[in-house]
Structure 1
Amino acid sequence: MKAKVGDWLVIERARLGQPRKAGKVVAVPKADGSPPYRVRWSNTDRVTVVYPGPDARIEEGAARGE
């Protein structure tokens, strides 16, 4: 998985009834774009460090109209 600042990290929930979680990537410490990422979550505006799991994907910011 590779990301850049401005992309979105989307996490699909494995359990029925859990909402999808999405956040904007605000920092990518590694030059090659690999995790971990600092993400500002859209539902809380909190910034956390994330090591994405298999239920996550990156969407380019431009693809989301950013």
Structure 2
Amino acid sequence: MQAIAGARITIRSRSVGAPDRHGKVIEVRGGNGGPPFLVRFDDGHESLVYPGPDCIVEPADAS
């Protein structure tokens, strides 16, 4: 999985009734756009993310 700064990331919940987590990639620390990604989640929390099969990365807006 690859990303660039500004991309949106969604981490699907593994628990019934728990919300998905949404955030923005603010830094890519791996080589060639690979993980880990520093992500600022919509609740303001920042974390290093090593995406798994429950993650979706959407490209940054072109605007």
Which range, TM-score by smaller chain? 0.7 to 0.9
Tell me how far apart the structure 2 counterparts of residues 55 and 49 of structure 1 sit (CA, whole Å). 15
Q: Which runs of 4+ in 1 moved over 3 A?
A: none
State percent identity of aligned pairs.
37
May I ask how many residue pairs the two structures share in their alignment?
63
The answer as to 2:47 corresponding to 1:48 is: yes
Structure 1 residue runs of 5 or longer lacking an equivalent are none
Post-superposition CA distance 1:17-56 (Å, at most 9, x none): 010101100000224111000000102x121111111100
Match of 2:61 in 1: 62
- Aligned to 2:33, the other structure's residue is in SS state coil
> TM-score by structure 2 length?
0.88
Structure 2 residue runs of 5 or longer lacking an equivalent are none
Match of 2:12 in 1: 12
Q: CA RMSD in A?
A: 1.6
